[in-house]
Structure 1
Amino acid sequence: MAMNLGPGDGLTPGSDPEPIMEINTTPLIDVMLVLLVMLIITIPIQLHSTDLNLPTGKPPVNAVPPEVVKIDIDPANVVYWQGVALPDRAALEDKLKAAAAQAEPPEIHIRPDARSRYDTFASVMVSAQKLGLRKLGVVGGEQFQ
């Protein structure tokens, strides 16, 4: 059996053996693990919850149903307000301004035809949102599936 005493080609009589230059990391790892466990134990548990005070009982019934304005877009990209064709975008914006000025703004239901252009639909949506109408809905989405 042989034993490795370290680097070098042997010991000469009267010389000291060379010290081993490698550090033993096992005690350092043990200390780090103990510190990590202590840190985990001492950190308070964070609860990610928010207390909400929710109302109980039935919600009040609206005595007056909301007004609904129907805007249709046909395959020729003509915009209709409640079934009446509008000549241009300025007429649409005038109608939207009048609707936005009401005390209780109406719901806007937009029904585009599947063959109409997207930019016509987008311009109606942009005009309504720009004028402050927030209750917008797209009706008839099943025709696009």
Structure 2
Amino acid sequence: MKLRKFGRASDPDVMMDINTTPLIDVMLVLLVMLIITIPIQLHAVNLEMPVGTPPTNNEPQKLQIDIDEKNTVYWQGLPVSQGELEAKMVEVSRLTPQPVITVRPNKECSYAVFADVLATSKRKGLDKLAVLGAEQFVQ
């Protein structure tokens, strides 16, 4: 910035313009930094596709255990003893996919029998177990 001294007419006037060269330099540096830091956008979508044969939609078998008011346990509609029930559960636990077992107790059956069926299924490794008719116990 040049200043004019008072009293001399031959000295140049004060320069009132802004020097824009440093501003442009800073803007260019910021622009280059922005371009470098933005990740490169790819137009491709990377997917990991499964290899091999597609899985078959084999629905698991559905088995039903009923307990009547006389504490008789039924496997698929046929009465079974405790030993037969355990043998059938061992046989079913080896299947792939494991079948879905539904237990349908009667409201009048003993809780001990129902709990024994659930405990036996847990011991034999049956994971897919459902209790049907639980709404009859709600008061």
Work out whether the TM-score is over 0.5.
yes
Q: 2:113 is matched by which residue type in structure 1? A: T
Identity, % of aligned pairs?
Answer: 37
Instruction: Output the TM-score relative to the length of structure 1.
Output: 0.55
Deviations 1:17-71 (A, max 9, x none): xxxxxxxxxxxxxxxxxxxxxxxxxxxxxxxxxxxxxxxxxxxx97222211100
1:78 is aligned to 2:63 = no
Distance 1:143 1:116 in 2: 12
1:129 is aligned to 2:115 = no
- Counterpart selection for 2:90 from 94, 97, 102: 97
- 1:118 equivalent in structure 2: 111
Tell me: CA distance 1:96–1:103, structure 2 relative to 1, closer, same or farther (3 Å): same
> What secondary structure does 1:116 align onto?
coil
Distance 1:98 1:66 in 2: 15
Distance 1:121 1:141 in 2: 12
Instruction: Output the TM-score relative to the length of structure 2.
Output: 0.58
C-alpha RMSD of matched pairs (Å): 1.8
Distance 1:114 1:139 in 2: 11
Which of 1 and 2 has greater Rg? 2
- 1:144 equivalent in structure 2: 137
Which ranges in structure 1 are unaligned for 5 or more consecutive residues?
1-60
> What secondary structure does 1:137 align onto?
strand
Distance 2:116 2:101 in 1: 14
Q: 1:94 is matched by which residue type in structure 2? A: A
> What secondary structure does 1:128 align onto?
helix
